[in-house]
Amino acid sequence: MTPKIFITIGIIFYAVVVPFFEINNTHVFNPAWEPHARLHEAWQLSTNTAIGIFSLWLTWSKNNIRLAALMTTFVTGGFLVSYCLRDYYGGSMILSDGSEKTILGLNLGLFAYSLAIFLAIAAVTIQKRSLLKYSQA
């Protein structure tokens, strides 16, 4: 059960929490953003939510922790790559009002998505050890 909960936490971050924070006037409805950028934002949110729904199905219906963890790592890892490369393309996590969402002094996205990857790795490791232990019994 623990691997499924770990994977679910990561999925909730990218499939529910991020859309909740971004479907508003700071992102999707931000009048300062080019319409094309807003389209890409809506596309990214809907794609990530669809991947999250699929990953929840993999986790809870098929018990496929490894593939759900891989999908979670793709989505959250993509953010981490973008975050690390932000200076190269002029990106920023500073909102249009000048604020930045942080937790424990770290950017909220950096914290949550790093945690999601850690939980995905932990879930796969726990499941693998459990299956190995079961097969040796």
Residue 41 has pLDDT above 70, yes or no: yes
126 pLDDT band, cuts 50/70/90, is: very high
pTM of the model: 0.90
Helix (H) or strand (E) holding 30: none
Pairing, β 106-107 against β 102-103: antiparallel
75: Cα separation from own chain's centroid = 5
Pick 131 or 18 by higher pLDDT: 18
> What integer is the mean pLDDT of 99-105?
92
pLDDT of residue 1: 82
129 pLDDT band, cuts 50/70/90, is: confident
Q: Which of 81, 59, 61 is nearest to 9 (CA)?
A: 59
Residue 131 has pLDDT above 80, yes or no: no
The CA distance from 86 to 67, in Å, is: 28
The CA distance from 8 to 58, in Å, is: 11
For residues 32 and 98, is the Cβ–Cβ distance under 8 A?
no
pLDDT of residue 137: 58
Token pair in block for residue 46 = 């809907």
pLDDT of residue 134: 67
> Would you list the DSSP string of 72-109?
HHHHHHHHHHHHHTHHHHT--S--TTS---EETTEEHH
Query: Mean pLDDT of all residues in the chain?
Result: 94
Residue 44 has pLDDT above 90, yes or no: yes
